[in-house]
Structure 1
Amino acid sequence: MSTSKLPPLTSSELANLWMTYQEKTMILRFLEYFLEDKQDYKELFELYYSRSLKRVARIKEIFENEGAVIPIGFTKDDVNIGVPKLYDHMFEVMYIRLMSQIETGLFALHSTMSYREDVRNFFVEATAEAQDIYNQSTQVLLETGVIAKPPYVSMPKEVHFVHEQNYIGGLSWFSEKRSLNTIEVSLIQHAVDTNLVGMQLMIGFAQVANNKEAQQHFVRGMKLSKKIETELGDILRHSYIEPPATHAGKATNSTVPPFSDKLMMYNTSLLSTFGLGSNALGGAFSLRSDLPLKMLQLAKDIYSLAKEGGKIMIQNGWLEEPPQIEDRNQLTKK
């Protein structure tokens, strides 16, 4: 029974807090593993950990006040502290940069779907925290030369309008594709950058997974990340732009799992969802007609991977069911 004096949670508020609980408890397990022997940039990881812990505690408090069951999410059983490192130097910073990127988008969206003041404030604060972690981790990676900036271009001196229909061309084999505009470069660069991290994450997961189906799923995710990085990188090269690359953040040769298969499958599912959203954004804002088509083809592959992952999670009892709307058909039959 609810003990809150506030208006009851709406379905969207309940859903978004539930999803945040899942994501934040997963992040806590990763950070516990990273912090075990992390000396460099330890303060950054501790800051991310303490903030995530407070977010989880606040969601628990809201749910308890509403008389709602606390989700299971991910617990200490999903992480093995003290096992050999699965990733080499700087991957941890690259990983939290990627996850804070995802959080920034998710929490900003959740804030616009919230109506109760305390829930709105929760997601506004969570968005600001994610942006801060993203800023700090990006600065670290730039200072250490681990990530490459997008290319520089000449600054525009005049305003131009498009008058030729071939500006949106690109599908014909017989016409020369125009060079990319800066909007298109930024979206492609972002996709390549995130898939470089995702590919190494999948390589490590594939090495340590105990479940055979999960292991094969991670191999497929690894190959898909490589495909996306290669095909989008080729589009950049066609405009004489070198795609981003990094010397750091590789998977080691360890085969000892630091995480449960359940946690690794959830993380892969989260990245697939993020990938679908990024591809949709890239396709929507690209004016050269071959680019939305390429994004659509890649999105189909990502969706297929996500669907396969959902089946594996269900088969193994790893997929925690979100809060359900009342089934009125069933209730009225009684």
Structure 2
Amino acid sequence: MGDSQHVQLTATEIGIIWSLYQFKTMMIRVLEHFKETDDKESQKILTKLYEGEVRIVKELTAILENEQAIVPIGFTEQDVRKDVPRLFDQDFDLMYIRTMAKVSIGYYALYSTMSYRKDIRSLSNRLTKHAQKVYDNITEVLLNRGTLVRPPHISVPKEVEIVKDQKYISGFPFSQEKRPLNAMEIGHLCYGIETNTAGIQLMTGYAQAARSKAAKNHFLKGKEIAKKIVTELSDILLQSDIQAPVTWAGKATDSITPPFSDKLMMYNTNLLSTFGLGSNVIGGAFSLRPDLPVKMAMLAKDIFTYSKEGGKIMIENNWMEEPPQAENRNELINKEK
């Protein structure tokens, strides 16, 4: 029973493979556009990533075929246009890949704890390690270029402090009197600012290139939500006399020619919205100052509503591929013989 080829895939493993196929085929299409750059360093990085994604898709396809399962549509050559002007500059390309590496690390780590069959566990673990390596490498490149802004500094602790007052974790969320932010709270705020700063530029480019009016309006709304998040989280830092990390490196170009299909751009936006929703929940959960979970919850509500609206647009335009699902037993029972 230890032989993976003779162990049936569980429902969660089928879902993992299906989700990975959607994500990886999207990344292949994105990298096909990104790797056509004059920047030799970026081109080398992006080409290597592209080749790796192609190998993973082949591996996922082989697993499904061995199980005699249908291979999803995912994203095909119809979802990318070659020989078109660049939608983003070369610095943004790497910023985007770094953001997607963040997303990948979270999802792959989760997948590894949801997998039981040996080959699926091995795949999830390999993908997790690879995403961490990609994140480290690109972070180093961007830091060396001076295009990635580090989070702010605070004084290092000189002695251990013990919380002695309930006010540290209680009080009125909207009270004017608030304790200084702790290091963990600063970290989650900066994380949200950095991710949404990149999101502003991504939504700008997508809005410029979108052909569907509904998709264009959705991207514009996403841009405004990202700007709101950056502004409100930055204000919280400033209230504690901490300068928010801001970078203008990496932006959309002036091109209005779509390198990607509206379907791909909508899927990518929904994927990032889902990730942003999870990040806000985690940020709120690890924040002990009472105003922060309230703020994170309010922003999460906006993101949830936005993500749901995106799903409706995708369904209306036949852009959403249905995930594998359990059998409808009532339908089978009532089916005419």
TM over 0.5: yes
Q: Does residue 103 of the first structure (1) align with residue 104 of the second (2)?
A: yes
User: What CA deviation, in whole Å up to 9, does each residue of 1:269-319 have, x standing for no partner?
Assistant: 000000001001001000001000000000000001100000000000000
Q: Which amino acid aligns with 2:13?
A: E
Partner residue, 2:36 = 36
Partner residue, 1:8 = 8
Runs of 4+ in 1 over 6 A off after TM superposition: none
Report the secondary structure of 1:149's partner residue: coil
User: What CA deviation, in whole Å up to 9, does each residue of 1:246-273 have, x standing for no partner?
Assistant: 1211111111111000000000000000
Q: Which amino acid aligns with 2:305?
A: S
Partner residue, 2:195 = 194
Cα deviation for residue 147 of structure 1 reads: 1.3
Q: Does residue 184 of the first structure (1) align with residue 182 of the second (2)?
A: no
Partner residue, 2:167 = 166
Q: Using the alignment, how far apart are the partners of 2:78 and 2:284 within structure 1?
A: 40
Cα deviation for residue 31 of structure 1 reads: 0.5
Q: Using the alignment, how far apart are the partners of 2:228 and 2:134 within structure 1?
A: 29
Q: Using the alignment, how far apart are the partners of 1:19 and 1:174 within structure 2?
A: 43
User: What CA deviation, in whole Å up to 9, does each residue of 1:71-123 have, x standing for no partner?
Assistant: 01001110111111111240000000000110011011001000000000001
1:19-30 superposed matches below 5 A: 19-30=19-30
Q: Does residue 203 of the first structure (1) align with residue 204 of the second (2)?
A: yes
Q: CA RMSD in A?
A: 1.2
Cα deviation for residue 333 of structure 1 reads: 1.9
Q: Using the alignment, how far apart are the partners of 1:38 and 1:309 within structure 2?
A: 34
Q: Using the alignment, how far apart are the partners of 1:179 and 1:329 within structure 2?
A: 57
Partner residue, 1:272 = 273
Cα deviation for residue 169 of structure 1 reads: 3.7
Gaps of 5+ in 2: none
Q: Does residue 152 of the first structure (1) align with residue 153 of the second (2)?
A: yes
Cα deviation for residue 175 of structure 1 reads: 4.6
Partner residue, 1:283 = 284
Scaled by the length of structure 2, the TM-score of the pair is 0.96
Contact 1:22-1:74 at 8 Å conserved across structures: yes
Instruction: State percent identity of aligned pairs.
Output: 51
Contact 2:29-2:76 at 8 Å conserved across structures: yes
Change beyond 3 A, Cα 1:38–1:101: farther
Partner residue, 2:248 = 247
Q: Using the alignment, how far apart are the partners of 2:5 and 2:282 within structure 1?
A: 40
Cα deviation for residue 174 of structure 1 reads: 4.8
Gaps of 5+ in 1: none
Contact 1:36-1:81 at 8 Å conserved across structures: no
Q: Which moves more between the two structures, 244-253 or 138-147? A: 244-253
Q: Which amino acid aligns with 2:288?
A: L
Partner residue, 1:325 = 326
Contact 2:173-2:290 at 8 Å conserved across structures: no
Report the secondary structure of 1:36's partner residue: coil
Report the secondary structure of 2:5's partner residue: coil
Q: Using the alignment, how far apart are the partners of 2:252 and 2:186 within structure 1?
A: 28
Change beyond 3 A, Cα 1:307–1:14: same
